[in-house]
Structure 1
Amino acid sequence: MPKKAPPTVALVSLGCPKNLVDSERMLAGLALGGFVVTPDPDGADVAVVNTCAFIDLARAESDRHLDGLEALKRSGRLGRIVVAGCMAQRFGRQVLARHPLVDAVVGLAARDSLAGVCRRVVDRPQAAPIKGSRPQIAQMKGGRSSGRGTAADGATETIVLVGPHAAAPPDDRERLRLTPRHYAYLRISEGCDNRCAYCAIPDIRGPLRSKPPEHVLAEAAELAADGARELILIGQDTTAYGRDFAPRPGAVAVQSAIRSPQSAIESPWNLARLLKELRHRAAVKWLRLMYTHPASFTDGVIAELAAGLPLAPYVDLPLQHISDPILSSMGRRVTREQVERLIARLRAAAPGAAIRTSFIAGYPGETEAHVRELLDFLQEVRFDHVGVFVYSAEPGTPAARMPGQVPAAQARERWERLMQAAERLALAAARARKGERLEVLVDGADQAGRLLARHAGQAPEVDGAVLLAPGAARPGDFAAVRITGAEGYDLLGEVLPP
């Protein structure tokens, strides 16, 4: 009897770099579980969608992908559909109501069970449809529940694994990387304790759980050995790293960069100490710090930035707004004066460092005066990279219940004005860099064959690029370039001779 071919699985990864690391872990688990990974769900035995649920636009994108997979399943070109990730964790019931052909829902707390779930849905027989019925979810028992029922189009049992988060952070050392070999994301913590009024992330990913430093350092060594030349530190709030560790003898005092000495905290480990260890022990050329919080920045982290490479001259500092009443309503724990002082200190400590930020337009209670203040602030500070999002009223968050909800059309108009202002400043800054000499890391090529590279002030995916002539260098190479001009947000460069 011929041996049965192993089942095939396609994985769609949506959302942020934290979700991407989850996807890499899922792929490793699926491969170890005997699945053959395929890039195309058309013809696969099972398709997994690792969803994002941060804001309404992210959920809409997840729904669109699931709609397409359901169409494939109806046509007989896809076997099973499994929904994983943030939307599965927070909105499992709604997912099943909206997508009746889904075979399983696996939340973040059960992500290590994904391969077993996929094996179960692939191995079970397909039952005949019962018209008009929909999957029903049973009561949670021990973090697991399952529903039975059949959808109009033929789904049988719906497996649902959504439960409370584990006390320990995820171990990311077993993963199949989806990034180019020369850079990798290094997650240092999971979850968040900040409880900003607009944000559902603590409900989705749980409280802050910092990875043990020995795990972070071991993972960094493994990624470097696998070819990574840049490690990008991520978490919901990287500057909170170690805050959840219990103090012990020898704990170090941590001084906030924006608060009085009375607000100092104690921790055996913190981000500054982790950066110092990575500086000496991670065999990479660039370390990049993402997802910081202005209220959590410390003198030690600023000192590490001032020490230079391998810590890149780059800070991802989401501010969300700058008007004090809005910052207070958001629960951001900072004032405009404190933010301005922090930015001044960062620029003094690391001259030329790139600062990326993001803002929310249309937050409840926002007035035209608040918008003008934010526009003036953009002009004054001139960030290197700016993202702007329209406020999304997330179910269960305090902000969703606040008075003064801004009409959608007005919020969109404010978003457009902020984006236009940010774009004008970014385009002018790009043109002003003509003639500079920079070191870049080559990521790949665009559709026209031009090389896509980044200097130390550019993170992958979210910032601009340095465009080089085809064949001037190879992906994964560092090269010295001279900037010859700009094309929108991107810089144009030529590779200098060695």
Structure 2
Amino acid sequence: MSLNPPDLRPDLAPKMRLDAPRPGQPTIGMVSLGCPKALVDSERILTRLRAEGYAISPDYGGADAVIVNTCGFLDSAKAESLDAIGEALTENGRVIVTGCLGAEPEYITGAHPRVLAVTGPHQYEQVLDAVHAAVPPSPDPFIDLLPASGVSLTPRHFSYLKISEGCNHRCKFCIIPDMRGRLVSRPAHAIVREAEKLVANGVRELLVISQDTSAYGADIRFAEERGHRAHIDDLARDLGQLGAWVRLHYVYPYPRVRNLIPLMAEGLVLPYLDIPFQHAHPDTLKRMARPSAQTETLAEIAAWREICPDITLRSTFIVGYPGETEAEFQYLLDWMDAAQLDRVGCFQYENVAGARSNDLPGHVPEEVKQERWERFMAKAQAISEAKLAAKVGTRQDVIVDDIDADGIATCRTKADAPEIDGNLFIDEGTEGLAVGDIVTVEVDEAGEYDLWGRLPA
């Protein structure tokens, strides 16, 4: 069943970073699976718990109970979630389950009847009620002070900024709308205020996430409140005024996306678009019930690059979708040659319980899916390698993510999002660098997905 193990799934959030608790506090552990949107949910839950005096344990042994925030995007992700719940039960014994898979409580309790409670996605109050029942709070107002920035599960210098919940699309392979509901946009002024607080507390990069970033504000008629309009164009411009890198994820290729590109050319927003194309052949897209056809996408990409030549395009694709013929797959490969996307991830199609695509005719044999995945990734790798080779000799602004004991700095360029894209490594002269610094680097070597560089003399 596990066709797409975690290391092949390009939708995963960075690993959590937790500090050890002080002695004497009630402690809660957290296992956060799945995408960055789920990681933001985990941060919100832990922020509320910290405000009530709970400590956050980085391991099972130090926790009075463990919350497992699950993923239900694919059946392989569901299996991973069940495994994580089982591990938490074995290592700790007191487990509360939340997240996308929590929308199917019988599925969870059928496999793990000993869990203390099951709640659905972004049901924060129910999670807190379950924690209170399992581990009563014991706040000390003189000690348990919550930082203004809340609890962050990512490094201090970057943060995810979730602008909406849910999705109005009905793609046949996806059950996210069934689990997370229809689009619900946050007020723009609340998003900007959160971003201001993050930047004031040291965040250098804001990663804008939602299920459909392009549709932000449509459900509230692009309302304007307190000087901020709930439209992605206005929101991107507002965020771009804060002095941090702003990176846009999950942007559907609607024609109005063209309005964002001048902001990238101006330097207000990073020249980076994460667009879930999923496929290129019109018939495949029709069977997927994708919200926008790809027939004009190559022209749109050309228009974006005309406005902002430095733009980086990343995307994810599905190979082996029901009914995909060899001709349709070859069309996708040819489209990749024409589109020349910079960063690409790929899933092999798999059935997900409740998805309408399960009932489509023409399911592709597993060995064909694997063979097509290998051909697709070989194509994507060759494009990536050529594009990175062209950067040798250029100067790139990078953000420093880590500096190891040997002084090797792991960085990212403006073309790289955390975890899902490549890195730029500096292996000498890093004595004056600190995590979170943004510096200019001369690129002197390139690989298939990564770069190496040095600080200018």
Q: TM class by shorter-chain length?
A: 0.7 to 0.9
Q: Name 1:144's counterpart in structure 2.
A: none
**Equivalents in 1 of 2:439, 2:167: separation in Å?**
38
Deviation at 1:295? 2.9
Q: Name 1:260's counterpart in structure 2.
A: none
Q: Name 2:232's counterpart in structure 1.
A: 271
Deviation at 1:360? 0.3
**Equivalents in 2 of 1:248, 1:379: separation in Å?**
41
1:481 aligned residue (438, 441, 449): 441
Deviation at 1:10? 1.0
The answer as to whether partners of 1:189 and 1:241 remain within 8 angstroms in 2 is: yes
Q: Name 1:120's counterpart in structure 2.
A: 133
Amino acid of the structure 2 residue aligned with 1:489:
Y
Q: Name 1:464's counterpart in structure 2.
A: 422
Q: Does 1:86 align with 2:100?
A: yes
Deviation at 1:268? 6.3
2:156 aligned residue (154, 176, 181): 181
**Equivalents in 1 of 2:81, 2:364: separation in Å?**
25
Deviation at 1:284? 2.5
**Equivalents in 2 of 1:392, 1:449: separation in Å?**
42
Identity %: 38
Q: Name 1:426's counterpart in structure 2.
A: 384
Amino acid of the structure 2 residue aligned with 1:176:
V
Q: Name 1:388's counterpart in structure 2.
A: 346
Q: Superposed, which structure 2 residues align to 1:408-427 within 5 Å?
A: 408-427=366-385
Please give the secondary structure, in 1, of the residue aligned with 2:315.
strand
Q: Does 1:13 align with 2:32?
A: yes
After superposition, the Cα gap between the structure-2 partners of 1:31 and 1:375, relative to the gap in structure 1 and judged at 3 Å, is same
Taking structure 1 as the reference length, the TM-score comes to 0.80
Amino acid of the structure 1 residue aligned with 2:360:
M
Q: Name 2:7's counterpart in structure 1.
A: none
Q: Name 2:333's counterpart in structure 1.
A: 375
Deviation string for 1:228-277 (max 9, x for gaps)?
A: 11111110010001111137799xxxxxxxxxxxxxxxx96321121122
Please give the secondary structure, in 2, of the residue aligned with 1:47.
strand
Aligned residues: 421
Greater RCO structure (CA 8 Å; 6+ sep): 2
Deviation at 1:441? 0.6
**Equivalents in 2 of 1:190, 1:209: separation in Å?**
5
The answer as to whether partners of 2:272 and 2:414 remain within 8 angstroms in 1 is: yes
Structure 1 residues 289-298 or 363-372, which shifts more? Answer: 289-298
**Equivalents in 1 of 2:258, 2:66: separation in Å?**
46
Please give the secondary structure, in 2, of the residue aligned with 1:108.
coil
Q: Does 1:64 align with 2:39?
A: no
**Equivalents in 1 of 2:389, 2:223: separation in Å?**
52
Q: Name 1:355's counterpart in structure 2.
A: 313
Structure 2 spans left out of the alignment, 5+ residues: 1-22, 138-147
The answer as to whether partners of 2:274 and 2:315 remain within 8 angstroms in 1 is: yes
Deviation at 1:34? 2.5
Amino acid of the structure 2 residue aligned with 1:300:
N
Please give the secondary structure, in 1, of the residue aligned with 2:169.
coil
Deviation at 1:204? 1.2
The answer as to whether partners of 1:246 and 1:268 remain within 8 angstroms in 2 is: no
The answer as to whether partners of 1:181 and 1:228 remain within 8 angstroms in 2 is: yes
1:289 aligned residue (237, 248, 252): 248
After superposition, the Cα gap between the structure-2 partners of 1:295 and 1:495, relative to the gap in structure 1 and judged at 3 Å, is same
Please give the secondary structure, in 1, of the residue aligned with 2:211.
coil
Please give the secondary structure, in 2, of the residue aligned with 1:49.
strand
Deviation at 1:335? 3.0
Structure 1 spans left out of the alignment, 5+ residues: 73-77, 125-172, 251-266
CA radius of gyration, larger in = 1
Q: Superposed, which structure 2 residues align to 1:23-38 within 5 Å?
A: 23-38=42-57
Q: Does 1:211 align with 2:186?
A: yes
Deviation string for 1:174-224 (max 9, x for gaps)?
A: 741111111111111111001111111111111001111111111111111
Q: Name 1:342's counterpart in structure 2.
A: 300
Q: Name 1:49's counterpart in structure 2.
A: 68
**Equivalents in 1 of 2:287, 2:254: separation in Å?**
15
